[in-house]
């Protein structure tokens, strides 16, 4: 006897402006989106894509509220009642480096990828010129643009800082994650800074990525670690990298998945294109 498929309903109302969703429900929706988008990417890249399976995944994404629901839940996590967004970490690091006092040299040009709000850096307007950008803009001041589709030649060496906060982990394909980091290196000015923020389990509990492996990968790409912040049992990990000369050719070991540790782990990985 065929099973009756139960109709699902969106678990969140994306039209609500307040951050009334609970942290637990927000994380549940975000994690589910990551799983669905990964499966969607795998099916689309398959030589013989399963149209029925792909349709099921796309229907579930729609039933969850689509990308707008993901953005809403992420925005909830950045509310003042939840401790604020990751930009606070970056701002403090920049202040500690003395960059707030460089007004005479002009403002720092910051490209904020995955911006859910247009004013995350409003307190730094005197010394940071921010360009917020996202796949789906929620505000007229946020540029609607896919970072992976930006014109590399037009942006080569253009930015003093690029922020990839909770962006790389949202990209379904591990090679596109690596390509995103390569593009960031190309688009940064000499000695430019890359701010990277990931959910801690992406590095602490991955089968294919560890802190040491990530550092080695970033070195190969031409990045030198300046700052790192995370705590055991926490939810987030933050890094600040400086662009350096890249004279080393990428190694094959970073183009394929290599098991770094066994056990009950997640499959997050970053591969070079």
> Rounded to whole angstroms, how far apart are CA atoms 51 and 48?
9
Residues tagged in the binding site annotation for S-adenosyl-L-methionine: 114, 134
Spatial CB neighbours of 81, under 8 Å, sequence gap ≥ 6: 19
Asked if 66 and 87 count as a contact pair (C-beta separation under 8 A), the reply is no
Residues tagged in the binding site annotation: 114, 134
> Rounded to whole angstroms, how far apart are CA atoms 108 and 129?
6
Asked if 128 and 99 count as a contact pair (C-beta separation under 8 A), the reply is no
At residue 254, what are phi and psi to the nearest 5 degrees? -95, 5
DSSP state for residue 41 in the 8-state scheme = H
> Rounded to whole angstroms, how far apart are CA atoms 167 and 111?
13
What letters, b where the CB count within 10 A reaches 16 and e where it falls short, cover 262-273? eeebeebbbbbe
> Rounded to whole angstroms, how far apart are CA atoms 38 and 175?
12
Query: Maximum Cα–Cα distance for the chain, whole Å?
Result: 75
């Amino acid at each position: 006897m065929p099973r009756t498929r139960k109709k699902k309903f969106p678990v969140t109302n994306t039209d609500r402006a307040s951050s009334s969703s609970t942290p637990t429900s927000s994380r549940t929706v975000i994690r589910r989106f990551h799983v669905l988008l990964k499966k969607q990417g795998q099916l689309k890249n398959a030589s013989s894509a399963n149209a029925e399976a792909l349709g099921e995944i796309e229907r579930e994404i729609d039933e969850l509220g689509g990308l707008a629901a993901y953005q809403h839940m992420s925005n909830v996590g950045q509310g003042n009642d939840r401790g604020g967004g990751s930009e606070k970490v970056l701002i403090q690091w920049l202040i500690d480096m003395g960059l707030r006092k460089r007004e005479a040299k002009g403002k720092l040009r910051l490209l904020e990828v995955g911006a859910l709000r247009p004013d995350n850096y409003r307190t730094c307007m005197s010394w940071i010129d921010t360009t917020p950008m996202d796949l789906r803009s929620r505000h007229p001041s946020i540029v609607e643009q896919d970072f992976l589709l930006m014109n590399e030649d037009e942006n080569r060496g253009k930015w003093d800082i690029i922020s990839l906060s909770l962006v790389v982990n949202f990209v379904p394909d591990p090679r596109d994650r690596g390509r995103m980091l390569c593009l960031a290196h190309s688009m940064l000015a000499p000695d430019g800074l890359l701010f990277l923020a990931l959910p801690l389990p992406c590095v602490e509990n991955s089968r294919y990525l560890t802190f040491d492996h990530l550092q080695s990968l970033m070195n190969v790409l031409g990045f030198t670690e300046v700052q790192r912040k995370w705590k055991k049992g926490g939810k987030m990990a933050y890094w600040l990298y400086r662009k350096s000369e890249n004279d080393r050719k990428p190694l094959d070991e970073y183009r394929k998945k290599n098991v770094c540790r066994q056990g009950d782990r997640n499959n997050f990985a970053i591969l070079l294109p």
